[in-house]
Structure 1
C-alpha cells in the first residue's frame, strides 16, 4: 500500500500540536520526521491527494506500466546525513556517463562524451588537442574542492559571508564562484564554444539569466549544481523520485506524525507564541492550534496565508517533458552508442552562443528559435521504474528539461505556446538523430503518443509553484545576509518558519530546508 493510500481524509481529530507543517512535499516530510522523532506532536497538512509535492513518481501515461519521476528527476543535494538520521530505505545509483553533447563540425556529426576512460580522447577529437580537457580538469578540480568545503555547511547553522569565505580558503575560487559573473569565468577558462556551453548550463537550470548578469543569480544556481554530495554528482533515485518521498512519509508516520491529504491551509494567525491554522477539507473548515507552524510552500504563499504583502513575484523558465520510448534512437554520431549518449545528461542546442541567443530571444518576448534542453534516461541506470514487460521489450523513459523559456512567454496562450515550444525543442533533438524521435515513442492505452509537456504556468497550476519557479524564487548564496536568521528559515514571526525551497539554502531535492527548520524549531 502506498503512502497516499494510507492517508485518505477522515473526520478531523484536531487538537493542539507542537508543530503544524503546511505542505507535504519532501522538505515538509523531512521536518515532520525530525520533529516527531524528537518527541513532538506533529500534523502535516497537504492540499493535494498525495504527499511528495514535486518529488513524486507517477504513471504518467494511461494503461502503461511505467512510473516516471514526473517533475524532479535527479538527486545531488540530499545529504547522506538526512538519509541516515531518518533511517530511510532509499538509494541512488551513479550514472555511468556524466554527459554527452552532440555537435556538427564541418560536415561531420560528432560530440563530446564526458565520463569514463574515453573522456580525454573525446575532448581531443572535438577540439584537436588536450588543452580544453586539461582546462576542464583544472576547473572541476576547483569546484570539487569548493564542494567538499561548502556542502557540509548546508546542514549547519548559517555561516556569515566571511565565515564561508574562510571555509572555502581559496581566493581565486571564491572570486570565480561568488564575486565574478560566471560568464567571465567560463570565457577565461575555456575556448571552445561547445565546451563553454556545457559548463554554463549548470548556471541556468531553472534560472533565467544571462551569463554576465551582474546580480550573479546565475552564479548561485551554478554553485548549487556543483556542490551536491561534496562531489557535484547527479544521481538516479532507485525506484524513482517517489521512492524518496514515500520513504520520508513512512519515517514521519513511524515517528508519530499525522499526515492528512486533501487538507488545504487557508490562513495562519499568530501572536509569536501561539498559532491558529485554518484548514479546508471535505469535512468543512476547521482551525488547528499549534505552538509553531512550518511552511513548506513558497514565500509568496506564506505571505498570503499570513495576510501580508507578498515578496516580488518569481518567474520560472523551464519546459519539462516526460516521454516513454519503445527504443532509444540511433545517433548521427556513429562513434557513440545511444546507451552511452543517453546514460548521462544529453545536451541539445546548448553551445555557448546558442544559450546566449536563446536568452536574448526570450528576454525580447519570443520563444527561442533553437530551444536549449537537456535529456535524462532514468531507465538506463534504474529499470525498476518500468514494468517487467516493458523492460524486457527494451522500452526506456526520457525526461527533458528545457531552458530559457520564462513564464511570460506563455501568459497569452499557454496551450499554443507549449505546443510550439515542444515542436521546436524536439526538432533540435532530431537534427542529431538518424530517425525522428516521434518514431520511437510508445503509445498509451488509448493510442496516444506517450509524451507530456509542462510549462511554468502548468507547474504553477499543478504544484502551486509561484510563476512555475522550481526554486520558489531566485536562489541565494549559502551564507547569512541581513535578517536571514541562524538557520536561514526564520521569518518575522518567532513561531513561523519557512521550510520550503524559498528558504536560504533551499532549492532542489535536498531536504535541507526541512532539516534546518526542524533544527530551528528544536532550538539547536
Structure 2
C-alpha cells in the first residue's frame, strides 16, 4: 500500500475554478495537488478540434467571457485578450423579412431598427432599462471579489428601493411586461434570464431573475466578450500560471471518496476516447480502472457539483462512475449546444442587414417572449419545444485565429447554437445518440425557419465526408463532465449576497463556500457566486483558506 502523500490543499477537479484556486494558493506558498478525471485540464472551458481533418479549434462547451474579474486576471498575471463585439444582438421577427439589430456603435441605426419592427416606444424603454442595469452592476460587481455582503447591504449600495423591488423581488416577466410593449423586444431582454435556467419568466422561485442578474453585471457593464484563441486559451493560461506556481497535477485521477478528515481516494484509469479533440460524443469517458491511491489535504476544495460532492462524502455510494440517476435532489440542466463549421455565413430573409452584422453579436432565434413561455410548457409536457428557442454566436467573425489560414481564405465561419428550454428530462433514460439526433434536428429546423436558405448545404465536410456539426445534450455533459443532469451551473444559481440572517462565523461562510465539514470547501460553479466562466468559485475558496490562516 503506497504511503499517503500530504498536501496543504487538494483540489478535486481541474476545471477553470479549480485552476484559479490552485494558482492563488500555490502563489501564497501552499503545497497544492489537483486531481482531474479527464486526461486534460479545463473542464467545460476547453477548445477542441471537433471535426476530423479540419483545422478549426472550437470552444466545445462554454464560449464567451463576461464574469471573469480583472482582479483575478491581474492577480494571477493572466495573458488574455478579450474582444468586445460591436453588435449586441440581431433578432429576426418570425415569419417576416425584418428584425431588430442592436448596434452598440450606432444609436440612430438601432432606433431605426426598433421602428422597423413597430417598436418605436420600446427603444426609449430599452435605453432606460440599460441605464438602470448599469446602476445595478455598479453596486453589485465590485462586491464579487470580496467576502459576501448581506442582502440589506447590497440594497443600500443600490440606493433605489423601487428598482430593487422590481428586479430582486418581482418575477422578471412582470418587469418585462411593465416596461415593454413588443413581444420580440421582451424576448430579447428575457433570454439573459433563461440561458442554462429552465423556468418561466413568472416563476416564483426567481431563478430567472438571478440568472438575469449574472448576465448583466459582468465587468460592471454586462458585456460578453470573445476570448482570442477560444475558451481553451483561458484555461491554458490558468494552467500555465498554476504550474509556474508549483501546483502538482494528476490527470486521469477519478476521485472515489472524500473523508471529512481530508483524505481523498482516487483511482487512476486508462483513457478510452480522445476527449478534448473528440470526434465521437459517445467516447467521452474514462474507463479501465487500475489502482487506488490516497492523498491528504489540510483542506479539500471540491470543484465538482454539490450533488457529486455528496456522492463522494461518507454516506454516498462512493462508486465510480457515478450512479445514474443521481440521488435526489438532482439539478436539471436545460440546454443543447450545437457547433457548426460552414463554408460561409447563411443569407438572411432581412436583406437590409448584412450577415456579418447579424452574426456579429448574439443572433436570437424564435425567442419572442410568447415563444419562450410556450417552450416551457412544451418541455414540461415532455415535448421538444416547437420551435426550439435558441441563440447563436459566431466566434470566427470576431476572432478568426481559431481557423487555419486556409479556412479563413475560403471564407469559412463557425456558428455555435445554444438552445434553451431543452431540459434533461427530455433525454434522461433515452438512447444518447438518438436523443442527440432528435434535438439536433429540432435546432436546425428552428434555425432554418429564420434564414433565407437552409443551413445544411453550407456545412463543410470532414476528412471522412461527414458534415461538420456536433451537438451536446445535457446527457452528454453528464457523461463527459460529470455534471448531474447536465446542469452547466452545477446547481440552481444563488444571489451573490447572503440573507441577512445567514451565518458568517467562519471564513467559508463569509465567502459562500462552506459545507458541513470544516476541511471541505466548495470551489466550483456550485458556490454562492458560481456559474459561468468567472473563476469566482475558485477565488472565493482560495480566499477562505487564506483567511482561515490569519
Q: TM-score, normalised by structure 1?
A: 0.95
Match of 2:267 in 1: 280
Match of 2:102 in 1: 114
Q: Which residues in structure 2 correspond to 1:33-432 (within 5 Å)?
A: 33-104=23-94, 108-115=96-103, 116-117=105-106, 118-127=109-118, 129=120, 131-271=121-261, 275-282=262-269, 284-308=291-315, 312-413=329-430, 414-432=432-450
Larger mean CA deviation between 111-120 and 132-141 belongs to: 111-120
Any idea what SS the aligned residue of 2:117 has?
A: helix
Match of 1:30 in 2: 20
Are residues 1:498 and 2:498 paired? no
How far did residue 252 of structure 1 move?
A: 0.5
Asked if 2 retains the 8 angstrom alpha-carbon contact of 1:333 and 1:432, the reply is no
Q: Over residues 449-468 of structure 1, what are the superposed CA-to-partner deviations in whole Å (9 max), with x where a residue is unaligned?
A: 00011111111001111100
Q: TM-score, normalised by structure 2?
A: 0.90
Q: Over residues 9-50 of structure 1, what are the superposed CA-to-partner deviations in whole Å (9 max), with x where a residue is unaligned?
A: xxx996210000000000000000000000000000100010
- 2:470 pairs, out of 432, 435, 452, with 452
Any idea what SS the aligned residue of 2:176 has?
A: helix
CA RMSD of aligned residues (A): 1.4
- Aligned positions, number: 507
How far did residue 523 of structure 1 move?
A: 1.1
Asked if 1 retains the 8 angstrom alpha-carbon contact of 2:119 and 2:182, the reply is no
How far did residue 412 of structure 1 move?
A: 4.3
How far did residue 495 of structure 1 move?
A: 1.1
Q: Over residues 205-257 of structure 1, what are the superposed CA-to-partner deviations in whole Å (9 max), with x where a residue is unaligned?
A: 00000010011011011110111111000010110000000100110010111
Structure-1 separation of matches of 2:439 and 2:34: 38
Structure-2 separation of matches of 1:62 and 1:166: 55
Any idea what SS the aligned residue of 1:84 has?
A: helix
Any idea what SS the aligned residue of 1:289 has?
A: strand
Asked if 2 retains the 8 angstrom alpha-carbon contact of 1:29 and 1:248, the reply is yes
Asked if 2 retains the 8 angstrom alpha-carbon contact of 1:299 and 1:311, the reply is no
What runs of 5+ residues in structure 1 fail to find an aligned partner?
1-11
How far did residue 307 of structure 1 move?
A: 2.3
Any idea what SS the aligned residue of 1:100 has?
A: strand
Structure-1 separation of matches of 2:437 and 2:266: 37
- 1:519 pairs, out of 543, 546, 550, with 543
Structure-2 separation of matches of 1:396 and 1:503: 36
Match of 1:437 in 2: 455
What runs of 5+ residues in structure 2 fail to find an aligned partner?
270-289, 317-326
Moved over 6 A (4+): none
Structure-2 separation of matches of 1:395 and 1:520: 46
- 1:475 pairs, out of 480, 493, 496, with 493
Q: 1:293 to 1:412 in 2, by over 3 A?
A: closer
